[in-house]
Amino acid sequence: MTAWALFLTVFLACTVEAVEALTIVLAAGVGRHWGSVASGTVTAMAVLTAAVAALGPAVGLLPLRALRLVVGALLLLFGLQWLRKAVLRASGLKALHDEAGIYAARVAAARTAATGGRWRVRDWYAFTLAFKGVLLEGLEVVFIVVTFGANQHDVPVAVLGAAAAVLLVTAVGFAVRAPLARVPENTMKFAVGVMLTAFGLFWATEGTGAHWPGGDAALLATVPAVALLALACTSLLRRTRPPATPTRKSSAQGVSP
The whole-number pLDDT of residue 100 equals: 62
The whole-number pLDDT of residue 229 equals: 92
Q: Which residues pair with residue 248 across a beta bridge? A: 96
Euclidean distance between CA atoms 98 and 220, whole angstroms: 32
Q: Place 115 in a pLDDT band, splitting at 50, 70 and 90.
A: low
Q: Place 250 in a pLDDT band, splitting at 50, 70 and 90.
A: very low
| Mean predicted confidence (pLDDT) in 132-142 | 85
Q: Place 253 in a pLDDT band, splitting at 50, 70 and 90.
A: very low
**In the chain, pLDDT over 90 holds for what percent of residues?**
3
Max avg pLDDT among 14-18, 101-105, 248-252: 14-18
Query: Within a 10 A sphere around the Cβ of 93, how many other Cβ atoms?
Result: 16
Q: What are phi and psi of 249, to 5 degrees?
A: -115, 110
Q: What is the separation, in whole angstroms, between the first and last Cα of the chain?
A: 25
The one-letter amino acid code at 141 reads V
Q: Place 251 in a pLDDT band, splitting at 50, 70 and 90.
A: very low
Q: What are phi and psi of 178, to 5 degrees?
A: -155, 160
* 3-class DSSP state of 175: helix
The whole-number pLDDT of residue 111 equals: 59
Euclidean distance between CA atoms 75 and 202, whole angstroms: 10
Q: pLDDT tens digits for 207-231?
A: 888 888 887 778 888 889 999 999 9
**Exposed e or buried b per residue across 32-43, where buried means at least 16 C-beta atoms within 10 angstroms of its C-beta:** bbeebbbbbbeb
Euclidean distance between CA atoms 86 and 110, whole angstroms: 29
The C-alpha torsion from 106 through 257 and 16 to 192, rounded to 10°, is -170
Euclidean distance between CA atoms 27 and 144, whole angstroms: 26
Q: Where are the domains of the chain?
A: 3-241
